[in-house]
């Protein structure tokens, strides 16, 4: 006969395995994030500002396209000021996005960036982005929001174009805008000031 | 160690046996593995008819192009519930029922290791499915997001009833996990002396491996529905892009559960068929050891292939290659199994009673499902097959002749042991042939419409798909109606029929055939000694 | 097109064998691009390998089922293992798999070609329609199902492209690498054109890419392939490939259309004209949720018949359609429809199904709202 565990001990171990696997299900969330970053699976970019500095690569040009899409239920006017830029790897660039709240109530929005091809997401560094925080617009308010970015010098040679796509979600229900006087002016809440 | 229970010594077996309690409390409170097995099997059959009637609604709507019978919103609820009811209500409980009945009899144990938990794990199921099915009658309708319930359709865009759906999934998960723990404890700790692991019938082996799969993945399913619940009610953003989550993460976690789940639904059938084919070939199973290793390899591989369900969500090249190669590898152990079954039949002395008919059809049709599975594994080709009727054809070829035919084969094989009567062989064969023809007429044309470009889960379609859809529906109606014949056969067999001897099949081996038919309420209260013939697998 | 209305009637008549339109297509089509052809070839290669294996395995089985029956007096053999054979049938399938993996890998790499494209189109999935935007061209439009509701409800004969026809197809030039940037605004959709062998999920908040280079002009049809809710079966994809010259002309026309629409806005409309135009717009754009008779599908999609908003002040009605209702399925149509169509559909709703408001919203009203907001 093989050596066996007594039934109560066996059951304890199995229950432990069940609990561990339940936990593993949740652990898949951070594991997935790490895998996405390492392999560039879903085109997500970093959620905070890139601090590095790079030398400009004058020998190469990359086309960066900008897309702005409203998620369902979002009624803001939201678009980039230009469709695309030709940039040099390593150089710092800026693009302005316009947002306008046409409704009669204050609203909170969150922009979610995504980069295609997904494998290039790791080489796209945002030094400043309106997507790092939520945007509150008063009724009828219009702002211009900058994104500053560097395309990494290490960008693989077979990538000729990058697409930076923002989807704007209405998160007013979850994050009601704090009552405040309508602000005039442009950018705000940029982590890098 | 005295009692080798011999056929015919019914009184001896009853000497130390307490009969079942009477009335309803027998079934409500029973801890007897045979009673619980019976409950599971009846429950599963009810769910099979319920899920089947939903399939009839689907096929009736698809009988012709245009909307005739149901509206798209209800159609989606039907496809969703059909999948959920068949997977969690029909196939899985049927196997748990078979395990309850047969594993103690096969390994010479007096009962399952945890009889009270056994009762509880069964009675969770009617509660879970009562809850799930009741959502169909709520204002916003029942789950309508497919049995794979992809976020955000199942979270942000779900009907109100999704919360009940989540709770029902939790209950089913708890039930399955308890059932699995029970099987592991029984198989590992309650084997009769001399019944080493490598002497167990293959059904015990495949169930042991299935139980480990259940323990590994059902908690992950529970995790994923819990995350949904939190997203819907507690403001988290696991799968909500607006809060920094990722809907694709849902699919990764779901399929981490979902792919092993596919094998959970097929491995026990592998085991049962590995008992049935040798019996009716009158020859020992070919390659017992390689069968065990093949099953274990399939179970292992099932954990590293999940993303083949997601080839079109935008996986990088390396990911596609890895999951494609890993998936293709599954063909190797699966092939070993098929070759082993064929070799078992080779130079046997074959007869084709109903269980054997279902088992042979199982091997042939499951192999066809395996071929389409191999085609689906090829990532670039999958870009064309993905989410078309080709996929529907594939998984119905694996699940209907695989899981369902495996269950029918087992039911006919062991009915004499359960009821003490032989079933009506003529009707049994009729049931087989009608099922076989109906199933192929229903599902084979789905390959064609899928390749021609018909997406799955649509209530209406272009005229070019009309003819094959009508054929499919006719086959499905045939297959569906035929299952009422099965109900009749089983009732007839319970009520009477030619008395079954302890061992109704001359080629059968195993401890279950050493007890009388019907199996007494209590068996193997003293561990049996293995008959000489059982000393080698 | 002789489809009988009754399913049972046709069952009895065994209609499929009578009709000339019978299409017993049993296989994938090679398609219209180099990629689709290599996918097709790969599909056929794998298929024939499977057939060959199947023939061998099933022949052995059937042989045994015929010759090794007990009724033929067969005595069972007793062998139950054979190491050499078992090793062989593990190794041989492995070799076959490698043979399959080589062309599969080659095709996959071909599909993942990252080279520069000549035209970029953003494809956005909505419940339940597609939106196409030609990047850098100022051309964008929605592509709605064009099949009339009467055909779906069997009140009219179904035409050849039933459920596979749209009001405005995606037009692309032939011989040009076109890149698709695919996303969605609500749930996951999937954009599939079989003839191009392009199928990619459209995921809200994420961008996916794919590409094609079509050889010859033609119309290629496909459908959404990811369950996306009620009308998943009713959001076809139609791609029309034109020669490069024709495409350029089409693009110019499309840009001119914007100007033409402006003219329409300036025109003086009567209520009857608007209602007539709005009838069409309603049935393409609104009827999927609010239903053809305005009865809605509560609680998800409220009825418009007798609705407070529709029978209330027209400014509120216009603003609701224009901006949508956040937190519900009601989208903001201000960007999706032209001024004329917005005015028409609102006027239609206010005068249909016994909502006898008797008033009208003119394209100029809509324009005024737009301009007020853009200031």
Residue B436 lies in a domain: yes
What number is the average pLDDT over the span C221-248? 95
Give Cα separations from B527 to B192, B219, B319 (angstroms): 5, 35, 52
Pairing of strands C236-242, C170-173: parallel
Segment B332-347 mean pLDDT: 95
Q: Are residues A143 and A161 in the same domain?
A: yes
pLDDT of residue A73: 82
C333 contacts on A by Cβ (under 8 Å) = none
**Chains that contact B by 3+ CB pairs under 8 Å?**
A, C
Q: Give the pLDDT band (50/70/90) at residue C273.
A: confident
Query: Is residue B195 in a domain?
Result: yes
3-state percent helix, strand, coil for chain A, nearest multiple of 5: 20, 35, 45
| CA–CA separation, C82 and C149 (whole Å) | 65
Region for C266 from its dihedrals, namely left if φ exceeds 0, alpha if ψ lies in -120 to 50, beta otherwise: alpha
Q: How, if at all, do strands A92-100 and A142-151 pair?
A: antiparallel
B433 tagged catalytic:
no
- Give the domain ranges of chain C: 28-58+85-113, 119-261, 267-374
What are the Cα distances from residue A8, in Å, to A11, A12, C335?
A: 5, 6, 65
In a domain, A127, yes or no: yes
**How high is the mean pLDDT of chain B?**
92
Per-residue HEC secondary structure of B313-338 comes to CCCCHHHHHHHHHHHHHCHHHHHHHH
C129: left (phi over 0), alpha (psi -120 to 50) or beta: beta
Q: Categorize the per-residue pLDDT at B473 as very low, low, confident or very high, splitting at 50, 70 and 90.
A: very high
B30, B121, B135, B175: the active-site residue = B175
B50 CA to centre of own chain: 16
B18 inside domain: no
Tens digits of residue pLDDT in A155-191: 888 888 889 999 999 988 888 887 554 444 444 343 3
| C-beta atoms of A41 and B316 within 8 A | yes
A129 and A59, same domain (yes or no): yes
The 3-state DSSP class for residue C107 equals: helix
Interatomic CA distance for residues C133 and C145, integer angstroms: 18
> Is the sign of the CA dihedral B79, B80, B83, B84 positive or negative?
negative
- How does pLDDT run across A76-108, given as a tens digit for each residue? 889 999 888 999 999 899 999 999 887 788 999
| DSSP-assigned letter for residue B261 | H
Q: Is C203 on the interface with B (CB under 8 A)?
A: yes
| Residue B337 appears among annotated catalytic residues | yes
For chain B, what percent of residues have pLDDT higher than 70? Answer: 95
**CA pair distance B382, B197, nearest whole angstrom:** 40
A72 touches chain C (CB under 8 A): yes
Strands in C119-126's sheet, in edge-to-edge order, are C139-143, C129-134, C119-126, C178-184, C208-212
Percent of chain B with pLDDT over 90: 88
Same domain, A15 and A94: no
Summarised one tens digit per residue, pLDDT across range B16-38 is 446 777 788 888 889 999 999 99
In DSSP terms, C133 is beta-bridged to: C122, C140
CATH tag for C119-261 (out of 3.10.129.10, 3.30.1600.10, 3.30.300.340, 2.60.40.420): 2.60.40.420
Q: Which of B195, B223, B257, B315 is the best substitution to test chain A (most A C-beta atoms within 10 A)? A: B223
Residue C9 has pLDDT above 70, yes or no: no
List pLDDT tens digits, range C154-163. Answer: 999 999 999 9
* DSSP designation for B113: S
| Residues in Cβ contact with A80 at an 8 Å cutoff, skipping those fewer than 6 apart | A66, A67, A68, A95, A96, A97, A98
Domain span at residue A120 reads 48-188
- The whole-number pLDDT of residue A184 equals 43
Which of B329, B375, B460 shows the shortest C-beta gap to C46?
A: B375
The tokens describing B253, both together, are 């976690």
Of B225, B217, B224, the residue nearest B263 (C-alpha): B217
Residues above pLDDT 70, as percent of chain C:
93
Residues A136, A69 share a domain: yes
Quick one: fold of C267-374? Cytochrome Bc1 Complex; Chain D, domain 2 (1.10.760)
Tens of pLDDT, residues A131-146? 888 899 998 888 999 9
- Residues B187-204 have pLDDT tens digits of 999 999 889 999 999 999
pLDDT at position A3: 54
Nearest CA in chain B to A31: B249
Peptide bond into B413 cis (omega under 30): no
The pLDDT value recorded for residue C263 is 75
**Least confidently predicted of A142-151, B446-455, C27-36, C363-372:** C363-372
| Nearest C-alpha in C relative to A169 | C205
CA distances to B141, B299, B368, B488, C47 from B401, rounded to whole Å, are 32, 20, 10, 21, 21
Same domain for A71 and A160, yes or no, is: yes
Domain count, chain A: 2
- Please report, for residues A47, B87, B462, C214, C257, the alpha-carbon distance to residue C171 in angstroms, rounded to integers and kept in the order given: 37, 43, 22, 11, 15
Contact between B512 and B102 under an 8 Å Cβ cutoff? The reply is yes
- In order of B307, B386, C188, C194, C273, the CA distances from B312 in angstroms are 10, 8, 12, 13, 46
Rounded to the nearest integer, the mean pLDDT of chain C is 87
Is B341 considered catalytic here? no
In-domain check, residue A193: no
Which three-class secondary structure state does DSSP give residue A151?
strand
Q: Cα dist. A114→A43, A45, A78, A135, C175 in Å?
A: 5, 7, 16, 18, 29
Q: Do A11 and B185 touch (CB under 8 A)?
A: yes
Identify the weakest region by mean pLDDT among C21-35, C124-138, C276-290.
C21-35
* pLDDT recorded at residue B416: 96
What is the count of structural domains for chain B? 1
CA distance C61 to C57: 6
Domain that holds residue B157: 33-534
Q: Is the pLDDT of residue B136 over 50?
A: yes
CB-CB contact of C153 with C257 (8 Å): no
Tokens of B57: 């609604």
Which chain A residues are closer than 8 Å to C323 by Cβ?
75, 102-103
**Positive/negative CA dihedral, B385, B390, B396, B398:** negative
- What is the ipTM metric for this complex? 0.91
Comparing B23-27, B220-224, C12-16, which segment has the lowest mean pLDDT? Answer: C12-16
Is A2 a member of any domain?
Answer: no
Are B381 and C42 inside 8 Å of each other by CB? yes
Residues 6+ apart with CB under 8 A from C275: C344, C347, C348, C351, C352
Active site residue B334: yes
pLDDT for position B278: 96
- B160 flagged as catalytic: no
- In three-state secondary structure terms, B464 is helix
**A112 with A70, same domain?**
yes
Query: B170 an active-site residue?
Result: no
Query: Which residues lie below 8 Å from residue C51, measured CB to CB, with a gap of 6+?
Result: none
- When pLDDT is cut at 50, 70 and 90, the band that residue C230 belongs to is very high
Helix axis angle for C34-67 and B331-345, nearest 10°, is 20
Instruction: Tell me, rounded to whole angstroms, the distance of Cα B221 from its chain centroid.
Output: 17
Smallest Cβ–Cβ distance between A25 and the set B188, B248, B253 belongs to B253
Does the structure show a pLDDT above 80 at B532?
no
What pLDDT, in 10s, does the model give residues C51-90? 999 999 999 999 999 999 998 888 888 888 888 999 999 9
Of B202, B367, B293, the closest CA to residue C86 belongs to B293
pLDDT > 70? residue C349? yes
User: Does A115 lie at the interface with C, CB-CB under 8 angstroms?
Assistant: yes
What does pTM read for this prediction? Answer: 0.88
Contact A22 B219 (CB under 8 A): yes
Q: How far apart are CA A78 and CA B364, in angstroms?
A: 58
CATH number at residue B297: 1.20.210.10
Q: How many CB atoms lie within 10 A of CB B174?
A: 18
Establish if B215 touches chain A: CB-CB under 8 angstroms: yes
């Amino acid at each position: 006969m093989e050596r066996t565990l007594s039934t109560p001990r066996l059951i304890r171990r199995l229950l432990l395995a069940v609990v561990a696997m339940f936990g593993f299900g949740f652990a898949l969330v951070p594991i997935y994030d790490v895998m996405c970053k390492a392999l560039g699976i879903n085109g997500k970019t970093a959620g905070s500002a890139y601090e590095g500095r790079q030398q400009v690569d004058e020998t190469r040009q990359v086309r960066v396209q900008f897309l702005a899409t409203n998620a369902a239920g979002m009624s803001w006017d939201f678009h980039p000021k230009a469709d695309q830029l030709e940039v040099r790897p390593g150089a710092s660039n800026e693009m302005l996005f316009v947002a306008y709240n046409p409704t009669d109530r204050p609203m909170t929005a969150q922009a979610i960036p995504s980069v295609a091809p997904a494998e290039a997401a790791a080489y796209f560094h945002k030094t400043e982005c309106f997507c790092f925080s939520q945007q509150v617009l008063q009724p009828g308010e219009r702002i211009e929001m900058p994104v500053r970015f560097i395309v990494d010098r290490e960008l693989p040679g077979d990538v000729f174009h990058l697409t930076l796509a923002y989807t704007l979600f209405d998160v007013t229900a979850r994050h009601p805008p704090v009552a405040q006087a309508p602000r005039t002016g442009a950018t705000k809440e940029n982590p890098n000031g | 160690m005295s009692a080798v229970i011999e056929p015919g010594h019914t009184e001896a077996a009853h000497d130390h046996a307490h009969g079942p309690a009477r009335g309803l409390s027998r079934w409500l409170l029973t801890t007897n593995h045979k009673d619980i097995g019976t409950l599971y099997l009846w429950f599963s059959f009810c769910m099979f008819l319920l899920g089947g009637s939903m399939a009839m609604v689907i096929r009736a709507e698809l009988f012709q192009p245009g909307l005739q019978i149901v509206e798209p919103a209800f159609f989606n609820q039907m496809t969703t519930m059909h999948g959920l009811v068949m997977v969690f209500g029909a196939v899985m409980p049927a196997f748990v029922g078979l395990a309850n009945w047969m594993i103690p009899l096969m390994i010479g144990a007096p009962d399952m290791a945890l009889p009270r938990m056994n009762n509880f794990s069964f009675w969770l199921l009617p509660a879970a499915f009562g809850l799930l099915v009741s959502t169909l009658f709520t204002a916003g309708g029942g789950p309508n997001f497919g049995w794979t319930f992809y976020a955000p359709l199942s979270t942000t865009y779900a009907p109100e009833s999704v919360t009940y759906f989540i709770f029902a999934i939790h209950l089913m998960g708890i039930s399955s996990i308890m059932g699995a723990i029970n099987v592991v404890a029984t198989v590992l700790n309650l084997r009769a002396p001399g019944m080493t692991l490598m002497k167990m019938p293959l059904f015990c082996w495949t169930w042991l491996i299935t139980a480990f799969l259940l323990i590994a993945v059902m908690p992950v399913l529970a995790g994923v529905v819990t995350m949904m619940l939190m997203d819907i009610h507690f403001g988290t953003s696991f799968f909500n892009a607006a809060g920094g989550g990722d809907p694709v993460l849902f699919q990764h976690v779901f399929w981490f559960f979902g792919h092993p789940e596919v094998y959970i639904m097929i491995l026990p059938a592998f085991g049962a068929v590995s008992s049935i084919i040798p019996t009716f070939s009158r020859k020992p199973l070919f390659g017992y050891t390689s069968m065990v290793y093949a099953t274990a390899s399939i179970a292992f591989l099932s954990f590293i292939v999940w993303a083949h369900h997601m080839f079109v969500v935008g996986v990088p090249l390396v990911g596609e290659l890895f999951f494609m190669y890993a998936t293709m590898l599954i063909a190797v152990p699966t092939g070993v199994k098929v070759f082993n079954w064929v070799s078992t039949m080779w130079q046997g002395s074959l007869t084709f009673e109903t269980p054997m008919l279902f088992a042979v059809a199982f091997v042939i049709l499951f192999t066809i499902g395996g071929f389409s599975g191999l085609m689906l594994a090829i990532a670039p080709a999958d870009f064309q097959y993905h989410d078309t009727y080709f996929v529907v054809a594939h998984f119905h070829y694996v699940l209907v002749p695989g899981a369902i035919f495996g269950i029918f084969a087992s039911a006919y094989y062991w009915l004499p042991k359960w009821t003490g009567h032989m079933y009506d062989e003529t009707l049994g064969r009729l049931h087989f042939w009608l099922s076989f023809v109906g199933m192929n007429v229903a599902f084979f044309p789905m390959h064609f419409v899928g390749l021609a470009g018909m997406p799955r889960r649509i209530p209406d379609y272009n005229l070019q798909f009309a003819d094959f859809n009508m054929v499919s529906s006719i086959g499905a109606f045939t297959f569906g109606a035929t299952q009422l014949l099965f109900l009749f056969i089983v009732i007839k067999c319970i009520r009477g029929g030619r008395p079954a001897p302890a061992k109704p099949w001359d080629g059968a081996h195993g401890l279950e055939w050493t007890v009388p038919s019907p199996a007494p309420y209590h068996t193997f209260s003293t561990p049996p000694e293995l008959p000489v013939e059982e000393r080698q697998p | 097109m002789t489809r009988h209305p009754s399913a049972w009637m046709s069952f009895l008549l065994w209609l499929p064998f009578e009709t000339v339109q019978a299409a017993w297509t049993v296989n994938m089509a090679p398609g219209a691009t180099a990629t689709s052809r290599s996918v097709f070839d790969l599909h056929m290669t794998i298929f024939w390998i499977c057939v060959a294996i199947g023939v061998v395995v099933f022949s052995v089985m059937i042989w045994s089922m015929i010759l090794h029956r007990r009724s033929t007096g067969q005595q069972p053999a007793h062998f139950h293992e054979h190491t050499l054979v078992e090793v062989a049938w593990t190794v041989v399938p492995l070799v076959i798999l490698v043979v399959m993996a080589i062309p599969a890998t080659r095709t996959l790499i071909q599909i993942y070609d990252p080279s520069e494209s000549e035209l970029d189109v953003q494809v956005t999935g909505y419940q339940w329609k597609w939106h196409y935007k030609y990047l850098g061209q100022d051309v964008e439009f929605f592509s709605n199902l064009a099949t009339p509701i009467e055909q779906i409800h069997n009140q009219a004969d179904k035409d050849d492209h039933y459920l596979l026809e749209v009001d405005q197809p995606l037009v692309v030039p032939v011989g040009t690498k076109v890149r698709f940037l695919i996303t969605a605004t609500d749930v996951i959709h999937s954009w599939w054109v079989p003839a191009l062998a392009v199928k990619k999920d459209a995921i809200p908040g994420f961008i996916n890419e794919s590409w094609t280079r079509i050889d010859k002009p033609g119309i290629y049809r496909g459908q959404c392939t990811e369950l996306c809710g009620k009308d998943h079966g009713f959001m076809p994809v139609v791609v029309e490939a034109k020669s490069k010259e024709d495409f350029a002309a089409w693009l110019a026309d499309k840009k001119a259309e914007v100007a033409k629409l402006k003219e329409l806005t300036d025109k003086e409309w009567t209520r009857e004209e608007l209602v007539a135009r709005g009838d069409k717009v309603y049935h393409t754009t609104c009827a999927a949720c609010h239903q053809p008779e305005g009865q809605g599908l509560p609680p998800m999609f409220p009825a418009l018949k007798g609705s407070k908003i529709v029978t209330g002040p027209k400014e509120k009605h216009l603003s609701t359609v224009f901006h949508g209702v956040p937190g519900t399925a009601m989208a903001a149509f201000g960007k999706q429809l032209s001024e004329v169509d917005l005015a028409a559909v609102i006027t239609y709703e206010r005068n249909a199904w016994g909502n006898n408001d008797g008033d009208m919203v003119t394209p100029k009203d809509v324009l005024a709202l737009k301009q007020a907001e853009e200031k």
